[in-house]
């Protein structure tokens, strides 16, 4: 029985000697085509408002989108994901289902400026509700109140109907992909049924299939103006200690017809990303969330890390763990760096 060669016959460093040798044997590649750029859209005109906790990121008014998305397309980025900040918030997040709402306006603006850019609509209600939760809340005195459930409980099935209506509105405005992000039971089936019933069977669903109730979302609350007015989202998003449960959640969304799966956050949950990649062949996304982005930016601003190298290494780690595509606030910079 032959033995595997070892030192000095085997010298792995031979394949690290030169940059082009390292490129030849590189196992994981990253390109602009792998990246999706988030955009935050707010009411008003001529607005590009900096987000203080996320350097380099902005809230945009619809009229300022054209220049931005043309630049994204020129960099080779294939897609954007839109988050809307409505002018008026209410208990039911009604602007999310308004054909003249902020995101339908933004979808049309993006498609006019960059027709080939894929538009993904983040489908949730936290930005649209006055309470900051991802659907209809069980509230005494309201028509939807159920005394059998706790006050403040997110009403699952009533929220499904809302998701279906809003998804149809966004798809009719031109969204290519609907991305439900609230971890509401049955959300993929409810949206798929609504889209198909409206003759929109060509519209894909990218499900936030394993989304954790993470502390890494902090800066997003400022960006989307969506902090919960009470409690947190642990009653519907996944508990961070749970690994096996993620595969159960993903299996449900696969069975309900998800076209693309997503794990969120990304780097703190690379084990989950790898598990889902090994279990399923569907396209797999990961979301490098606001806290991941902000930490790298803050460390680089203090001179503790090299921004470019660290950002690209973090994205490569996510790709290596199994992601086919990455939602990241670094997408625009990374596309330029990779060129």
Among 115, 45, 36, which Cα is nearest to 83's? 36
- Name the token pair of 156: 């699952």
What does the alpha-carbon distance between residue 94 and residue 114 come to, in Å, rounded to a whole number? 28
CATH 3.30.300.30 for domain 30-338, yes or no, is no
Range list of H helices, the chain = 19-24, 65-74, 102-113, 156-173, 187-197, 218-224, 244-256, 270-279, 290-301, 307-321, 331-338
Neighbours of 148 (CB within 10 A): 6
What does the alpha-carbon distance between residue 109 and residue 103 come to, in Å, rounded to a whole number? 10
Task: Give strand pairing partners of 137.
Answer: 154
Q: To which residue do tokens 């900051």 refer?
A: 132
Print pLDDT tens along the chain (339 aa): 567 889 999 999 999 999 999 999 999 999 999 999 999 999 999 999 999 999 999 999 999 999 999 999 999 999 999 999 999 999 999 999 999 999 999 999 999 999 999 999 999 989 999 888 888 998 888 888 898 999 989 999 999 999 999 999 999 999 999 999 999 999 999 999 999 999 999 999 999 999 999 999 999 888 888 877 777 788 899 999 999 999 999 999 999 999 999 999 999 999 999 999 999 999 999 999 999 999 999 999 999 999 999 999 999 999 999 999 999 999 999 999 998
| Domain boundaries along the sequence of the chain | 30-338
Catalytic residues: 211, 264
């Amino acid at each position: 029985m032959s033995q595997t060669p070892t030192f000095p016959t085997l010298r792995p460093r031979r394949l690290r000697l030169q940059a082009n040798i390292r490129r030849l044997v590189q196992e994981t590649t990253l390109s602009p085509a792998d990246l999706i750029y988030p955009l935050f859209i707010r009411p008003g005109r001529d607005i590009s408002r900096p987000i203080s906790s996320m350097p380099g990121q902005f809230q945009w008014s619809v009229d300022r989108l054209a220049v931005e998305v043309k630049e994204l397309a020129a960099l080779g980025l294939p897609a954007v994901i839109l988050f809307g900040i409505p002018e008026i918030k209410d208990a039911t997040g009604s602007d999310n289902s308004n054909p003249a709402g902020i995101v339908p306006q933004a979808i049309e603006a993006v498609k006019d400026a960059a027709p080939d850019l894929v538009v993904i609509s983040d489908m949730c209600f936290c930005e649209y509700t006055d309470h900051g939760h991802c659907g209809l809340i069980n509230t005494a005195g309201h028509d939807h109140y159920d005394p059998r459930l706790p006050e403040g409980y997110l009403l699952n099935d009533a929220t499904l109907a809302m998701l279906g209506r809003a998804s149809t509105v966004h798809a009719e405005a031109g969204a290519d992909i609907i991305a439900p992000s609230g971890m509401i039971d049955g959300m993929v089936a409810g949206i798929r049924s609504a889209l198909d019933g409206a003759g929109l069977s060509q519209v894909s669903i990218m499900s936030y299939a394993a989304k954790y109730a993470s502390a890494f979302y902090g800066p997003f609350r400022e960006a989307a103006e969506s902090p919960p007015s009470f409690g947190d989202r642990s009653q519907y998003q996944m508990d961070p200690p749970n690994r096996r449960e993620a595969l159960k959640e993903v299996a449900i969304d696969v069975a309900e017809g998800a076209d693309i799966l997503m794990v969120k956050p990304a780097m703190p949950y690379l084990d989950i990303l790898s598990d889902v990649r090994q279990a399923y062949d569907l396209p797999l996304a990961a979301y490098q969330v606001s806290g991941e982005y902000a930490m790298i930016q803050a460390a680089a601003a203090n001179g503790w890390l090299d921004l470019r190298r660290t950002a690209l290494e973090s994205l490569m780690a996510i790709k290596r763990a199994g992601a086919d595509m990455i939602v990241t606030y670094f997408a625009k910079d990374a596309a330029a760096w990779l060129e």
